[in-house]
Amino acid sequence: MSDAVAPMLLLTDIDEPGLNTREVYERRGGYESMRTALKMTPEDVLAQLEASQLRGRGGAGFAMGTKISFLPKGAIDKYLVCNADESEPGTFKDRELMQKTPHTLIEGIVIASYAAGASRSFIYIRGEYVQQADALDAALAEARAAGYIGEDILGSGHSLTLVVHRGAGAYICGEETGLLDSLEGKRGNPRLKPPFPANQGLYQGPTLINNVETLSTVPTIIRIGGEEYAKIGVERSTGTKLVSVSGHVRRPGNYEIELGIPAREIIYGLAGGPAEGRSVKCWFPGGSSSPVLTADDLDINYDFDSLAKARTMLGSGAIIVVDDSTPILDVALKVAKFYRHESCGKCTPCREGTNWTVKMLERIEIGEATPMDLEIMASVQEHIMGNCLCVLGDAMAMPISSLISKFRGEFEQHIEAARERRGLAPSAVDGDGALAAQGAI
Amino acid sequence: MSVRRYAHGSRVPGWDRPADLEKDPALIPDPESTDVPPALREEIEAHMANYPDRRSAALPALEAAQRVHGWCSPEALEQVACVMRVTPAYLDSVATFYDMLENSPAGRHSVYVCTNISCSLRGADELCDEMMRAAEADPDIDVRGFECLGACDIAPMASVDGIYVGPLELSDVPTLLEDVRAERPVLPDKQLGRMLVADPHANSREYPLHAPAPAQKGRGA
């Protein structure tokens, strides 16, 4: 770890007793940013958010200010939806924020809705987060009683309703249009885009959708100013980010980092790295949907652009570390099975592609596969990517493709070892295998 | 009991059951002849008032009905449909989509063991097997392998009626199940609500463990 301690913007004294109550939150300066913002014009608030260059923390990394500016102007019903359906495997940062400092999120929602001109807002929280939803409901009741949510907030003329909406267990509802369908009381099937939610979202109205961490950062931006915020981090990846580190590390958990520090500092410096005698085999930099990186990539800087350059992504900021004791086939199977289970079934490439990928991986496991299966599996991934309404299929295709290309040798070893266990001849003398080796298939 | 997954890869149970073509499609239930418990009706109506479109209340309403009936039974769907003025089939389509809504009779307590990647790297598969084995004979406790529950920092973990506990050892399984049966707080020392954030720079002072043991939430009326 470098000597300079990263600025703490989101996790400051987050374990202070009672921070989840309005009393303690306000004693610490809470809701001051809201008061400041409501005295500004919505355009000025938006200008601050744009100046901060804050990029969405949910996974896609889209600039928040730009997203707000896409909403049509004028006196129409607009909606703000906070995406709290944190289901990306490895991600648990929003959980910490909502449980321990729910008022930060509510304050962020009031400010963002003011900038966007939205008069109705919803927090769509995954159903499994019972305690976090209870914390939000309690905080919301306090905020309502104080007049921070309701008609004509603090005499500003801005009115806002807020409802905490609990999901019921479906990964796909974290996809923004799947979330909207679910919030409308339907099955959480994603929609065709365009139209994008900024034009036609919830109840066909213009809708701003942002992640919990993004909205929780808004009060800080108003407090210190957009330009000051943009000085933190690196160019095009401004600010601090919560990273959830899990898997084979000694100190798994949430850490707040300044964007742009080397990944090694997070995995080894903060999270303690793998156990004694173990080394990193591969790691997911942004949830299980991101293409994997290997131990050679530990010196990549952890920010949006550096990870994109390494052909992976920062995603939700969830680092999953896998050490050398784990067979790569197990990792691939876990990932593929998850996406098979969570595919909503609407688009054929995703529904069938996830299913057949699992079946091919299982063929490897039981010793029925030949190296040709790896080719077919890789081509299945190519046919999923970009061919569905949403990116759930891509979210499996990206890690699986990267696992096949980076650990091809190990997959082939698995294939041969499993064939041997089954008493089959090595794949090279097997019909299919021989044909594949000649390039005939 | 095995992990509930659908072999053909979608999340639609009963896809291979034939439709009963003799049966008339169910209409919106008649309020005159449908008996809805007053508390349930009140709760559903309160949810409906929260949204510009009443259908948005489908999930909270089904969740409320499941708390009363134990699962999304035909009777439960009929009652929700009656209050919401939608068809039971519409609600069935919703209920079958979501993992937390039960489509068959379920035990009063649900234990979700996370078996996704971060937890499985730390032994969740063995934990899930052991938990299922230990609770097999108990009709009150449903143990399921579940997808990522968002608590990889306490992996391997489980959600017991909504209360997160971890990191769990195989030896915790009997105590956990005993706590569930006795309806007392589950493994109080391992509850997530009491954990401090991992980041050493987050807290400027040492804070005492502050969160009280959360109240147990039992299923069923």
- Residue B53 sits in a domain of what CATH number? 1.10.10
* A267 in Cβ contact with A319 (< 8 Å): yes
Residue B114's domain spans which residues?
109-194
What token pair was written down for A204?
Answer: 């066909």
**In this structure, are A181 and A131 located in the same domain?**
yes
Q: Determine the distance in angstroms separating the CA of A294 from the nearest CA of chain B, rounded to an integer.
A: 17
Residue A142: C-alpha distances to residues A21, A103, A156 (Å): 8, 9, 19
User: Is B158 an 8 Å CB contact of chain A?
Assistant: no
Note whether residue A11 is domain-resident. Answer: no
Q: What is the pLDDT of residues A8-61, one digit of tens each?
A: 999 999 999 999 999 999 999 999 999 999 999 999 999 999 999 999 999 999
Closest listed residue to residue B159, CA positions, set A165, A131, A174: A131
Region B134-150: mean pLDDT is 96
Cα angle value A111/A113/A116 (rounded, 5°): 110
Residue A123's domain spans which residues?
22-231
Note whether residue A10 is domain-resident. Answer: no
- Domain end, chosen from A201, A231, A261, is at A231
Closest listed residue to residue A364, CA positions, set A411, A410, A320, A422: A411
B12: chain A residues, CB-CB within 8 Å? 345
Region B141-167: mean pLDDT is 96
Question: What's the pLDDT band for B48 if we cut at 50, 70, 90?
Answer: very high
Note whether residue B5 is domain-resident. Answer: no
Cα angle value A223/A227/A230 (rounded, 5°): 100
Region A245-267: mean pLDDT is 97
Please determine, for residue A5, whether its predicted confidence score (pLDDT) is greater than 60.
no
Note whether residue A174 is domain-resident. Answer: yes
B13 → chain A, closest CA residue: A341
B63 → chain A, closest CA residue: A168
Cα angle value A393/A397/A400 (rounded, 5°): 140
**In this structure, are A273 and A377 located in the same domain?**
no
* A232 in Cβ contact with A238 (< 8 Å): yes
What is the distance between the alpha carbons of residues A215 and A292, in angstroms, rounded to a whole number?
28
**In this structure, are B88 and B128 located in the same domain?**
no
What is the distance between the alpha carbons of residues B182 and B138, in angstroms, rounded to a whole number?
13
Note whether residue B219 is domain-resident. Answer: no
Verify cis geometry, omega within 30 degrees of 0, for the bond prior to B13.
no
Please determine, for residue A190, whether its predicted confidence score (pLDDT) is greater than 60.
yes
Unique residue bearing structure tokens 């289901």: A87
**In this structure, are A373 and A426 located in the same domain?**
yes
Note whether residue B179 is domain-resident. Answer: yes
What token pair was written down for A138?
Answer: 């309690």
B contact test, residue of A16, A187, A249, A361 with most B CBs within 10 A: A187
**In this structure, are B120 and B159 located in the same domain?**
yes
**In this structure, are A270 and A379 located in the same domain?**
no
Q: For residue B15, what pLDDT is reported?
A: 62
Partner-chain contact A17 B210, CB within 8 Å? yes
**Nearest CB to A338: which of B116, B151, B196?**
B116
Q: What is the pLDDT of residues B70-97, one digit of tens each?
A: 999 999 999 999 999 999 999 999 999 9
Q: For residue B21, what pLDDT is reported?
A: 77
**In this structure, are A241 and A162 located in the same domain?**
no
Q: At B22, which amino acid appears?
A: E
What is the distance between the alpha carbons of residues B21 and A349, in angstroms, rounded to a whole number?
32
Distance between alpha carbon A287 and the CA centroid of its chain, in Å? Answer: 7
**In this structure, are A39 and A135 located in the same domain?**
yes
**In this structure, are A61 and A185 located in the same domain?**
yes
B51: chain A residues, CB-CB within 8 Å? 163
Q: For residue B1, what pLDDT is reported?
A: 42
Note whether residue A122 is domain-resident. Answer: yes
Note whether residue A6 is domain-resident. Answer: no
**In this structure, are B83 and B128 located in the same domain?**
no
Question: What's the pLDDT band for B213 if we cut at 50, 70, 90?
Answer: very low
Q: Return mean pLDDT, chain A.
A: 94
**In this structure, are A314 and A347 located in the same domain?**
no
- Residue A378 sits in a domain of what CATH number? 1.20.1440.230
- The domain total for chain B is 2
**In this structure, are B61 and B121 located in the same domain?**
no
**In this structure, are B113 and B183 located in the same domain?**
yes
**In this structure, are B123 and B87 located in the same domain?**
no
Closest listed residue to residue A7, CA positions, set A259, A325, A208, A332: A259
- Residue A287 sits in a domain of what CATH number? 3.10.20.600
What is the distance between the alpha carbons of residues A241 and A316, in angstroms, rounded to a whole number?
10
Note whether residue A87 is domain-resident. Answer: yes
**In this structure, are A83 and A146 located in the same domain?**
yes
pTM: 0.92
Closest listed residue to residue B128, CA positions, set B103, B109, B147, B154: B147
- Domain end, chosen from A321, A351, A373, is at A321
Note whether residue B13 is domain-resident. Answer: no
Partner-chain contact B100 A334, CB within 8 Å? no
Note whether residue A17 is domain-resident. Answer: no
* B116 in Cβ contact with B156 (< 8 Å): no
Angular region, A287: left φ>0, alpha ψ -120 to 50, beta rest: left
Note whether residue A61 is domain-resident. Answer: yes
**In this structure, are B68 and B144 located in the same domain?**
no
**In this structure, are B131 and B155 located in the same domain?**
yes
Q: What is the pLDDT of residues A366-390, one digit of tens each?
A: 999 999 999 999 999 999 999 999 9
**Nearest CB to A187: which of B94, B116, B153?**
B94
Note whether residue B28 is domain-resident. Answer: no
Closest listed residue to residue B165, CA positions, set B189, B144, B148: B189
The interface pTM score, or ipTM, of the predicted complex is 0.93
Residue B198: C-alpha distances to residues A14, A428, B203 (Å): 11, 50, 10
What is the distance between the alpha carbons of residues A150 and A147, in angstroms, rounded to a whole number?
6
Please determine, for residue A132, whether its predicted confidence score (pLDDT) is greater than 80.
yes
* A174 in Cβ contact with A85 (< 8 Å): yes
Please determine, for residue B167, whether its predicted confidence score (pLDDT) is greater than 60.
yes
**In this structure, are A166 and A249 located in the same domain?**
no
- Domain end, chosen from A306, A321, A336, is at A321
What token pair was written down for A258?
Answer: 């300044």
Partner-chain contact B50 A126, CB within 8 Å? no
Partner-chain contact B116 A288, CB within 8 Å? yes
- Residue B154 sits in a domain of what CATH number? 3.40.30.10
**In this structure, are B189 and B113 located in the same domain?**
yes
Verify cis geometry, omega within 30 degrees of 0, for the bond prior to A274.
no
- The domain total for chain A is 3
- Residue A57 sits in a domain of what CATH number? 3.40.50.11540
Q: For residue A432, what pLDDT is reported?
A: 54
Please determine, for residue A128, whether its predicted confidence score (pLDDT) is greater than 90.
yes
Partner-chain contact A87 B100, CB within 8 Å? no
Partner-chain contact B63 A127, CB within 8 Å? yes
* A207 in Cβ contact with A81 (< 8 Å): yes
**In this structure, are A45 and A167 located in the same domain?**
yes
**What is the arrangement of strands in the sheet containing B109-114, beginning at the earlier edge strand?**
B141-146, B109-114, B158-160, B163-165
Residue A254, strand partner residues:
A244
**In this structure, are B116 and B176 located in the same domain?**
yes
**Per-residue DSSP letters for B155-195?**
-S-EEETTEEE-S--TTHHHHHHHHHHTTS-SSGGGBGGGP
**In this structure, are A94 and A147 located in the same domain?**
yes
